[in-house]
Every structure is written in C-alpha cells, then in structure tokens.
Amino acid sequence: MGTGDLTAELIPARTHSRAYVVCKEQAIVCGQAWFNETFRQLDPAVEITWHCREGAAVEPDTRLCSLSGPARPILTGERTALNFLQTLSATATRTRRYVDAVDGTPANILDTRKTLPGLRLAQKYAVSCGGGMNHRLGLYDAILIKENHIMAAGSIARAVTQARAQPGNVQVEVETETLDEVRQALEAGADVIMLDEFNLEGMREAVALVAGRCKLEASGGVDLSRIREIAKTGVNFISVGALTKHIQAVDLSLRLEA
C-alpha cells in the first residue's frame, strides 16, 4: 500500500492558500476538535479560525471556518476533516430535533451503543452537543439485563441479585416486555426499567405502576413522528438508536479562495 497524496504533489510545496468551509443546510455544528486535529497532524502551519462556536445552530450558506497555510496539507486533509465534521454535525443535528420535540415534558433523550465503527466516543460527544444524554459508553460502565440475560440467569430477580453482588456501585437496568416483567423488575430493586416496544397505553400503565420508585426508559420503534406522545406518558428517558446509526451527513464544502 502506498502513502502520500499524489494529486496534492502537483501543487508547488511553497504555495500558500486560503480556504473556507461552508454549510449548505440548517445544522448544529459539531466536530471542530476532530477537524482541527486532522490538519494539525498533517501540518501545524495550517491556521484555522472558527466563525461559530461548537454546538451552534447555523443556517444554509453559513461560513463555519477559514483556513490559511500551505496548500498541500489543506488539500490533503480536506476530505478527512470534512468527514468528521459532517458526520458529527449530523449526529448533533438529529439529536437536537429529538430534544426539541420533547421540550416541556419530563423525558430526556438518550443515545445507544448503535454507533458507527470507530466513532463511539465521538458520536456520544455529538449527542451531548445536540442536547441529548449518553446511555452506556460500553459494556463496562453499567448493567443492562436483557431478555437473554434473564433467560440465562433463570429470572429477573436472580439476574438483579447477581448484578447487586458485583463489585462497584453501578446502575442496574432491566429490559421488560410486559407489565408483569415491570412489576418483577421493580420488586427486584432495579434502578431503571426499560419498556421495550410498549405501546402508549402500556407505557402509561407502567408509569402508574412504578409511581416514581425507579426510572423508566422507553425504547424500540421510536421516531420523530411519535416521540412527543411517548414523552407525554411520563417516562424519564427515551432511547433512540437513530441518533447515531440513521444519520445523513450534513452537506459541507471546503473551497479555496482565489
């Protein structure tokens, strides 16, 4: 496998250029550190001036930043830097839409572990930038007892008992599919109960049953068309895999100035 940028080498090494990045649609800007680091690793002589803060909402045709410095590293880093910026901005933008949709309700928007390969921490950061909250970063920072764990342990009560016996004081969450399972998880002492694929009436019944004794998380089949109705049931959290896996990159361009 070769190295280098054959096309950029067509430009004389001493050529300096100025450029800017323009956003072509409404978006929440996210990923400035990744953008900056791309050029820092190529050539620290590339100077970047941002015209908006991280997390800012911008309109179409907004200039996000300006670059100046050696032309070669600007051209070489263009695509990688934009890939980071457009992907993380897309994650933050989608998150903000969900957060805005539940405004005024008690529900908070959570992400999931359904992130793009290699971008777990970056996308989790982007969710926070968009106003959402992070669920687990991995399998090591909280216990989530799902259907197969319950089957292997023998019951919800046994699974929660085993979870409490583990060292450390981590959150214990139980995934449930019926109101009876909600009751079992509540009696077992779960910190959070996930309502998996519950309809709206089932969520309301679960909220009434739990009566604030633990947190409730709605999950499964969540999209913008129904998220406000879900939030109005009284659940504490709504987890949305689409924040990180169903994203369409924000339309950005890097343009050299004459």
Catalytic residue numbers, as ranges = 79, 114, 146, 175, 196
What is the DSSP secondary-structure string of 202-257?
Answer: HHHHHHHHHTTSSEEEEESS--TTTHHHHHTTT-SEEE-THHHHS-----EEEEE-
Q: How far is CA 14 from the centre of its chain?
A: 41
The runs of H, that is alpha helices, within 130-231 are 147-153, 156-164, 179-188, 200-210, 227-231
Q: How far is CA 208 from the centre of its chain?
A: 30
Is residue 78 packed enough to be buried (19+ CB in 10 Å), middle (13-18) or exposed (0-12)? buried
